[in-house]
Structure 1
Amino acid sequence: MEKNEYLCELRKATKMNRREFADYFGIPYRTVQDWELCKRSIPEYLLRLIEYKLKTENMIKKSIVEKNEER
């Protein structure tokens, strides 16, 4: 799974729209939009930090993470 697809899947799993997701993480909306639309590439370490925060706050299910690790 591509990083942008995984980011989008993580966001959708939280049931947040882009604006809410961006505000939650303190990331500019346009940056999140560019990442999801493949105009820019999200750094791998940042994607992992987002994933970690969502997991520790029980905002996503482990199955989403496991599904990504399989690919």
Structure 2
Amino acid sequence: MTPWKHPFTPARTTIRLDFRAQGRAALRTLLDRIDGGIDTALEVPAPTLILRGSTGPSAPHRSDPLPVYRIT
């Protein structure tokens, strides 16, 4: 278990990246360019959104303005 897995309550929403797939895509692009391939954009897999307890509706709108504090 990683030290950052459960220290927060509620659990934080995060993303998961497929580093192996990103590495394969980068290597494929590099080898293609070395072989004289055209300069194409690197296409990497999209991250996966991991929804956890920190995801929820936004706070209700306040009708009264928040106080402004000035430090002089």
Fold shared, TM-score > 0.5 on shorter chain: no
- Give TM-score scaled by structure 1 length: 0.24
Greater relative CO (CA pairs within 8 A, separation 6+): 2
Query: Which structure has greater helix proportion?
Result: 1
Query: Which structure has greater strand proportion?
Result: 2
